[in-house]
C-alpha cells in the first residue's frame, strides 16, 4: 500500500511522458463492419466506461511463431503469464490483476470458451489459434455483460478471421530452441461471385520443452465458410485441436531449483533393480472440436440481430504410472503370494474426461440518434463424464479390461439475459447502463465433489458515465456488480459459497496523433472471494477457498508515443494492493488472526514496455521488457511462499520482402526470448499440513512449496510465404 501511495503522485506528474501499446484506432469509435458483429454485443469502445485494450492481427503477427495466446499477451497491462514447459508451448496460463485464468472470461466470436466445470481456459487444446485470430479485446475488471462464467478479473473477447475479398495462400514455418517446430498452411478462395468465401488453416507444432521430457505434439485446424450480401452475414466455423503433452505440472522444490532447474519428477519410479526410471507415456492426450454457426442480419438502418449456435466436443485422458498404489483405490481385493498378503501394485491408469457443450447466444442491436441499445443473452448446457481405467497392473485381482474404478457424471446449465444501453446526453456526456440476469444449475456426483445439486441466481447491474471533454480527452466512471458460482474443484474443500464483486473504475484517455495514454484507478471489493490457496489437487488444478472480505485496489497506465515515423515507445505500469481482510489461519493447532494478508499470486507492481524502431517500412525491430514484483503463493504471508520478483527482455524482428509476383511476399520473423538469460520463476504452488506424528500430542504446521522455472535465452525463427 505504501508503495502505491508513494509513487501515484510522481506518475500523475509525469504521465505526459508515458506511453502504451494501444494504437489510436483501438480507443476510437468506428463503423462496425459485418465481420465484427459477432463480438459487437460484448465489446466496447471509447464511448463505454470500461477499461480495455485491443490487439489486432497485425500487432500479433511479428511474435506469432508458435507460442500460445497467453504468452503473446504477456506485455499487455496488468498481465502475468506462465508456461509449464518453460518456453510458451504446451500448457500456458494467464493472470490479470492477480486473477487467474478461471476468473478471466474468454469468448470466441461471442461464444463461451472457458470450461464450464473448472472455469479454466486450456489454450493447449487450440494450438496456433493466434494464426486464425483477427483481433482481440482484453477488458480488465468486470467489463460488460458477456456469456459464460462471470468475469472476476478480466474478459478476453476473440474474433476469428474475417472474410478475405481476395484469394490467397500462405505457408508459415518456424524453428527454435528445444527442437521447437511450427508449420501451418492457410488459404482463402476470396469472395466468389462477391458473396461466398471458404478459408482455412492446418497447423502442427512440436517441441521438447525447456523442462525435461515436457514435450508437446500439437495439431489444429480452422475451417470457415461464409455467405455475405449487403445485409446478411452467415458463417459456419469449425476449429479444434489434438494435444499430446508430457506432464510437467508437478514443479520442483527449492533445493532442486538450485541444483537442477529442468528436472521433471513426472513419471518417476524405481525399477526392480533399484534404478530410477521415468514412465515414457506420462502424457495428457486430449481432443477438442468446436462448431459454430453465426448469423448476423441488418434489418434496417436502426435494427440488427445476431444469432449463434455452437457445439463443442471434448474427449481425452491423462496417463500415469503409479508405484505401489493401494488396491482399495481400484476396488481390488488383497491376494496372497508366497504366503504373504499383497494389497499394493504398480500400475498404469488413465483418467478420462468426456464432455459435450452446446447452446446458443443471441442479441439485437438498436442504434439511432443518441441511443445505442443491445438486448441479448445465452443458453448453454454442459454434460461431462469423469471416469478412470487401469490399463496395466502388476497385480490386478478381480478386474476386467477397461473396467472403470470410478465413473462420475456432471451437468451444468447456464442461462442469461441482458439489456445494455449507451445514451448520449449531449456533445460531451454519455450515460451507460447494463443489467444482466443469470441462472446456473450444477449437478455432480464425484468422490472429490460429493453429491452436488446447486442452483444459483444472479443479478449483475452496471452503470457508468463518460465525458468527452474534447477530441483528445475522455473520462469515465463506472460501477459494476458481478456474481459467480463455484467451480468443480471448489467443492473439494467442502461447501463453497458463490462470490460477489463490486467494481469501481475511474479512467482518463488522452489521444493525439502521436500520443495516446490510458490511465485508470480501480477498486474491486469482494465478498466471499474464491482465492487461490496455493495448493494443487491430484491432477494439478489450483484449489481455491472462500476468504470472506477482500479487495484489489490499483492504478494502471499504458500508452503509445510515436517519435516521428521511426520510433515508438509503448510502456505500461500496474500498481496494486491486494488484500484479504482479517484473515484467519490455523497454525500449530491454534487458530490465529493474521489481520490483512496479501492475496495469493497478486504482485504489487507489474511493468511492461515495447520499444520499436522502423529504419524503413519493411523492417521492424522491437525490444520488449517485463518486470513482475514479488508475489506470495499463499494467503498467510509466509516467507516460504514468496515468489521472487523477476524481469525478462525479448528481442523481436520482422522483415518483409515484397516480390510482386506469384509469390507476393516473404516475411522473416525472429524472436529471442529472455536475451539476458535471467533465471526466473513465474509460477509455483504452496501448501501446509499438520504434522501430529513427529511429536505425539503436539501439532506442528509444515509448509512446502514448488516452482516452475522458465527458460533462459531461447529463440524462434520463422518465415511466411504469401501467395
DSSP conformation letters of 501-548:
EEEEEEEEEEE-SSEEEEEEEEEEEEES-EEEEEEE-TTSPEEEEE-S
When pLDDT is averaged across residues 311-330 and rounded to a whole number, the result is 95
Runs of H (alpha helix) within 229-323 = 254-259
pLDDT at 3: 39
When pLDDT is averaged across residues 42-47 and rounded to a whole number, the result is 81
pLDDT at 2: 40
Least confident window among 268-282, 642-656, 690-704: 690-704
When pLDDT is averaged across residues 495-524 and rounded to a whole number, the result is 95
pLDDT at 37: 65
pLDDT at 99: 93
* Mean of per-residue pLDDT scores for the chain: 91
pLDDT at 398: 84
When pLDDT is averaged across residues 42-60 and rounded to a whole number, the result is 88
Percent of all residues in the chain with a pLDDT value above 70, rounded to a whole number: 95
When pLDDT is averaged across residues 673-693 and rounded to a whole number, the result is 92
* pLDDT tens per residue across span 168-210: 999 999 999 999 999 999 999 999 999 999 999 999 999 999 9
When pLDDT is averaged across residues 674-696 and rounded to a whole number, the result is 90
* pLDDT tens per residue across span 62-119: 999 999 999 999 999 999 999 999 999 999 999 999 999 999 999 999 999 999 999 9
The number of angstroms, rounded, from the C-alpha of 119 to the middle of its chain's C-alpha atoms is: 10
Strands 154-160 and 168-176 turn out to be unpaired
Using CA atoms, how far residue 457 sits from 327, 415, 441, 442, 568, in Å, is: 43, 10, 9, 12, 48
Residues 6+ apart with CB under 8 A from 4: 553, 554, 555, 575, 576, 577, 604
2-722: CATH topology is: Maltoporin; Chain A (2.40.170)
CA distance 635 to 579: 9
Residue 35 — pLDDT band, cuts 50, 70, 90? Answer: low
462 CB-side CA count, 13 A: 30
pLDDT at 23: 35
CA distance 443 to 472: 51
Q: Percent helix, strand, coil in the chain (nearest 5)?
A: 10, 60, 30
Whether the per-residue pLDDT at 636 is higher than 90: the answer is yes
Where along the chain do its domains lie?
A: 2-722
Question: Whose CA is closest to 621, among 656, 647, 587?
Answer: 656
Residues 6+ apart with CB under 8 A from 400: none
Question: Whose CA is closest to 466, among 519, 428, 412?
Answer: 428
Q: Is the dihedral of CA 334, 337, 340, 346 positive or negative?
A: negative
Neighbours of 543 (CB within 10 A): 17
Whether the per-residue pLDDT at 34 is higher than 80: the answer is no
Cβ-contact 719, 670 below 8 angstroms: no
- The strand ranges marked E within 268-334 are 268-270, 276-278, 283-298, 303-326
For the stretch 610-617, contacts whose Cβ atoms lie closer than 8 Å and that sit 24 or more positions apart, written own/partner, are: 610/21, 610/75, 610/568, 610/569, 610/570, 610/571, 611/567, 611/568, 611/569, 611/570, 612/567, 612/568, 612/570, 613/566, 613/567, 614/565, 614/566, 614/567, 614/568, 615/566
Residue 14 — pLDDT band, cuts 50, 70, 90? Answer: very low
pLDDT at 396: 87
* pLDDT tens per residue across span 338-380: 889 999 999 999 999 999 999 999 999 999 999 999 999 999 9
Whether the per-residue pLDDT at 384 is higher than 90: the answer is yes
Strands 605-616 and 499-511 turn out to be unpaired
CA distance 499 to 513: 43
pLDDT at 33: 54
Residue 110 has what DSSP assignment?
T
CA distance 577 to 550: 11
pLDDT at 375: 95
Scanning the structure block, which residue is given the C-alpha cell 477438442?
288
pLDDT at 318: 94
Amino acid at each position: 500500500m505504501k508503495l502505491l501511495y508513494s509513487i501515484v503522485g510522481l506518475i500523475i506528474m509525469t504521465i505526459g511522458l508515458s506511453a502504451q501499446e494501444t494504437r489510436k484506432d483501438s480507443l476510437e469509435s468506428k463503423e462496425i463492419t459485418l465481420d465484427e458483429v459477432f463480438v459487437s454485443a460484448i465489446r466496447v469502445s471509447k464511448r463505454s466506461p470500461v477499461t480495455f485494450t485491443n490487439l489486432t492481427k497485425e500487432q500479433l503477427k511479428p511474435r506469432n511463431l508458435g507460442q500460445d495466446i497467453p504468452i503473446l499477451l504477456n506485455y499487455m497491462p496488468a498481465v502475468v503469464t506462465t508456461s509449464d514447459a518453460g518456453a510458451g508451448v504446451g500448457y500456458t496460463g494467464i493472470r490479470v490483476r492477480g486473477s487467474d485464468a478461471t476468473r478471466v472470461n474468454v469468448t470466441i466470436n461471442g461464444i463461451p470458451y472457458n470450461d464450464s466445470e473448472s472455469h479454466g481456459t486450456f489454450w493447449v487444446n487450440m494450438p496456433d489459434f493466434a494464426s486464425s485470430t483477427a483481433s482481440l479485446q482484453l477488458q480488465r475488471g468486470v467489463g460488460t455483460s458477456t456469456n459464460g462464467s462471470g468475469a472476476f478479473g478480466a474478459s478476453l473477447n476473440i474474433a476469428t478471421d474475417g472474410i478475405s475479398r481476395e484469394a490467397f495462400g500462405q505457408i508459415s514455418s518456424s524453428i527454435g530452441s528445444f527442437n521447437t517446430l511450427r508449420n501451418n498452411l492457410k488459404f482463402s478462395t476470396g469472395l466468389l461471385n462477391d458473396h461466398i468465401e471458404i478459408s482455412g488453416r492446418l497447423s502442427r507444432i512440436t517441441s521438447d520443452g525447456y523442462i525435461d521430457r515436457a514435450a508437446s505434439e500439437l495439431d489444429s485446424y480452422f475451417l470457415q465458410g461464409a455467405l455475405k450480401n449487403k445485409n446478411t452475414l452467415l458463417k459456419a466455423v469449425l476449429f479444434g485441436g489434438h494435444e499430446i503433452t508430457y506432464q510437467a505440472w508437478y514443479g520442483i522444490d527449492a533445493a532442486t531449483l538450485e541444483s537442477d532447474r529442468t528436472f521433471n519428477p513426472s513419471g518417476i519410479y524405481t525399477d526392480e533393480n533399484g534404478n530410477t526410471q521415468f514412465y515414457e507415456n506420462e502424457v495428457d492426450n486430449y481432443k477438442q472440436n468446436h462448431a459454430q454457426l453465426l448469423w448476423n442480419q441488418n434489418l434496417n438502418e436502426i435494427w440488427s440481430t445476431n444469432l449463434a449456435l455452437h457445439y463443442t466436443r471434448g474427449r481425452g485422458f491423462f496417463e500415469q504410472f503409479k508405484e505401489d498404489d493401494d488396491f482399495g483405490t481400484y476396488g481390488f481385493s488383497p491376494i496372497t503370494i508366497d504366503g504373504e498378503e499383497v494389497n499394493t501394485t504398480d500400475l498404469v491408469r488413465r483418467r478420462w474426461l468426456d464432455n459435450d457443450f452446446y447452446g446458443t447466444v443471441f442479441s439485437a442491436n438498436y442504434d439511432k440518434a443518441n441511443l445505442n441499445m443491445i438486448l441479448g443473452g445465452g443458453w448453454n448446457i454442459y454434460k461431462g463424464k469423469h471416469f478412470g481405467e487401469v490399463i496395466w497392473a502388476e497385480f490386478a485381482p478381480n478386474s476386467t479390461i477397461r473396467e472403470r474404478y470410478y465413473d462420475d457424471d456432471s451437468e451444468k446449465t447456464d442461462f442469461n439475459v441482458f439489456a445494455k444501453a449507451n445514451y448520449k446526453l449531449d456533445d460531451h456526456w454519455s450515460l451507460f447502463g447494463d443489467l444482466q440476469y443469470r441462472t446456473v444449475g450444477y449437478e455432480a456426483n464425484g468422490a472429490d465433489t460429493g453429491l452436488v445439486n446447486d442452483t444459483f441466481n444472479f443479478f449483475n447491474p452496471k452503470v457508468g458515465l463518460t465525458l468527452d471533454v474534447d477530441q483528445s480527452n475522455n473520462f469515465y466512471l463506472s460501477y459494476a456488480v458481478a456474481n459467480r458460482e463455484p467451480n468443480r474443484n471448489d467443492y473439494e474443500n467442502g461447501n463453497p459459497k458463490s462470490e460477489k464483486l463490486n467494481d469501481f473504475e475511474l479512467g482518463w484517455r488522452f489521444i493525439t496523433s502521436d500520443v495516446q495514454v490510458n490511465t485508470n484507478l480501480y477498486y474491486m471489493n469482494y465478498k466471499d472471494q474464491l482465492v487461490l490457496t496455493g495448493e494443487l489437487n491430484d491432477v494439478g488444478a489450483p484449489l481455491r477457498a472462500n476468504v470472506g472480505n477482500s479487495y484489489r485496489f490499483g492504478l494502471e497506465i499504458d500508452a503509445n508515443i510515436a517519435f516521428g515515423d521511426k520510433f515508438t515507445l509503448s510502456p505500461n505500469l500496474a500498481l496494486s494492493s491486494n488484500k484479504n481482510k482479517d484473515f484467519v489461519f490455523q497454525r500449530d493447532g491454534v487458530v490465529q488472526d493474521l489481520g490483512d494478508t496479501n492475496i495469493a499470486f497478486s504482485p504489487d507492481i507489474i511493468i511492461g514496455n515495447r520499444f520499436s524502431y522502423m529504419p524503413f517500412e519493411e523492417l521492424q525491430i522491437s525490444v520488449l521488457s517485463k518486470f513482475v514484483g514479488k508475489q506470495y503463493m499463499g494467503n498467510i504471508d509466509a516467507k516460504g511462499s514468496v515468489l521472487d520478483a523477476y524481469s525478462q527482455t525479448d528481442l523481436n524482428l520482422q522483415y518483409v520482402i515484397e516480390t510482386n509476383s506469384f509469390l507476393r511476399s516473404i516475411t522473416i520473423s525472429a524472436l529471442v526470448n529472455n536475451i539476458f538469460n535471467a533465471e526466473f520463476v513465474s509460477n509455483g504452488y504452496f501448501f501446509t499440513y499438520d504434522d501430529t506424528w513427529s511429536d505425539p500430542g503436539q501439532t506442528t504446521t509444515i509448509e512446502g512449496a514448488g516452482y516452475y522455472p522458465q527458460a533462459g535465452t531461447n529463440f524462434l525463427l520463422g518465415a511466411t510465404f504469401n501467395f
